[in-house]
């Protein structure tokens, strides 16, 4: 049997994982002793794993998480009010995403909110969900650009379809009329069908004033708050505590 033409055909059919496994089988004498069904099973397993890994890489790339935050590295030793039991219940197969629930990470600057948000996003991607991490200022800027170039509705649709939308530094400044209406549109698109994660230095009761218009604020918070989990952190900045350590250390 000519091995190379078979490998080329597998690659042409985008079965690269199977092609790699087939090439390895030709080089391993012990594999030749296996039955046809056993060898075929190994080829299929490799192709499946290759496709799953490619899909995960694509989800992580599209999520724009940056860095290497992951839930296995969460620091529970530092006193900051992090509820270990709640965190573990949330990360178990990303149940909160499956149930279309929201998540708020609230606390002072440097406490590790952004790192935790990225870790939760990373876990959701590993569990098969799509995610997008974006700072609130960038979100509203991009929506403004989209409105100017005619792609505003298309962008709102994309934001409505991602399984986990992570908005960092939410409610840092009062929203303009356009910003609050854009965010209401996003909440409408996602309500009870997708999950939204917000990090903020301000407590939830202060968000109403930051949104501005009372009617719009009521509408936004009604769609966000009633089915949301809250992780309220407190304590000294972890950046200060870790000052002087290696640049690779992340507040977690």
Say if residue 106 is in the same domain as residue 225: yes
Number of domains in the chain: 2
Which H helix or E strand runs over 58? helix 36-63
Check: CB of residue 106 under 8 Å from CB of residue 233: yes
Going by pLDDT thresholds of 50, 70 and 90, the confidence category of residue 31 is confident
Whether 236 has a pLDDT exceeding 80, the answer reads no
- Could you please report the per-residue DSSP string of 91-144? HGGGHHHHTT-EEEEE--TTSSHHHHHHHHHHHHHHTT--EEEEEHHHHHHHHH
- Residues spanned by the domain of 47: 3-62
Exposed, middle or buried, 69 (CB in 10 Å: 0-12/13-18/19+)? buried
| Residues 102, 109: Cα–Cα separation, whole Å | 21
- In whole angstroms, what separates CA 96 from the centre of its chain? 12
Say if residue 100 is in the same domain as residue 211: yes
Exposed, middle or buried, 29 (CB in 10 Å: 0-12/13-18/19+)? exposed
Task: For residues 145-173, give the mean pLDDT.
Answer: 95
pLDDT of residue 246: 47
Partners of residue 164 on adjacent β-strands: 131, 195
Q: Per mean pLDDT, which range of 84-93, 140-149, 156-165 is the poorest?
A: 84-93
Query: Above pLDDT 90, what percent of the chain?
Result: 62
Say if residue 7 is in the same domain as residue 52: yes
Say if residue 165 is in the same domain as residue 53: no
Distance from the first to the final alpha carbon of the chain: 54
pLDDT of residue 9: 79
Task: For residues 35-40, give the mean pLDDT.
Answer: 82
Check: CB of residue 151 under 8 Å from CB of residue 157: no
Whether 244 has a pLDDT exceeding 60, the answer reads no
Whether 37 has a pLDDT exceeding 90, the answer reads no
Say if residue 76 is in the same domain as residue 148: yes
Whether 205 has a pLDDT exceeding 90, the answer reads yes
Say if residue 119 is in the same domain as residue 33: no
Say if residue 40 is in the same domain as residue 129: no
More confident residue, 20 or 205: 205
pLDDT of residue 240: 67
Say if residue 175 is in the same domain as residue 223: yes
Whether 250 has a pLDDT exceeding 80, the answer reads no
The mean predicted confidence, pLDDT, of the chain is 89
pLDDT of residue 243: 60
Tokens of 84: 């270990």
Partners of residue 102 on adjacent β-strands: 228
Give the single-character DSSP code of 175: P
pLDDT of residue 35: 84
Q: What are phi and psi of 35, to 5 degrees?
A: -70, 165
Given 62, 80, 111, the domain boundary residue is: 62
Exposed, middle or buried, 111 (CB in 10 Å: 0-12/13-18/19+)? buried
């Amino acid at each position: 049997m000519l091995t190379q033409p078979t490998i080329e055909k597998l690659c042409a059919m985008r079965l690269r994982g199977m092609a790699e496994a087939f090439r390895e089988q030709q080089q391993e004498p012990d594999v030749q002793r296996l039955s046809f069904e056993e060898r075929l099973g190994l080829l299929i397993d490799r192709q499946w794993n290759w496709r799953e890994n490619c899909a995960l890489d694509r989800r992580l790339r599209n999520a724009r998480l940056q860095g290497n935050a992951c839930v296995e590295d969460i620091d529970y030793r530092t006193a900051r009010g992090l509820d270990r039991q709640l965190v573990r219940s949330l990360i178990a197969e990303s149940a909160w995403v499956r149930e279309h629930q929201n998540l708020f990470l609230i606390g002072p600057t440097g406490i590790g909110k952004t790192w935790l948000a990225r870790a939760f996003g990373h876990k959701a991607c590993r569990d098969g969900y799509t995610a997008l991490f974006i700072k609130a200022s960038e979100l509203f800027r991009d929506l403004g650009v989209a409105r100017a170039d005619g792609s505003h509705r298309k962008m709102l649709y994309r934001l409505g379809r991602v399984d986990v939308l992570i908005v960092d530094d939410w409610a840092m400044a009062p929203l303009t009329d356009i910003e609050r209406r854009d965010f209401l549109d996003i909440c409408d698109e996602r309500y009870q069908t997708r999950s939204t994660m917000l990090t903020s230095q301000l407590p939830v009761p202060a968000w109403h004033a930051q949104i501005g218009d009372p009617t719009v604020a009521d509408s936004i918070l009604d769609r966000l708050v009633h089915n949301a989990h809250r992780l309220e952190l407190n304590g000294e900045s972890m950046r200060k505590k870790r000052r002087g350590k290696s640049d690779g250390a992340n507040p977690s």
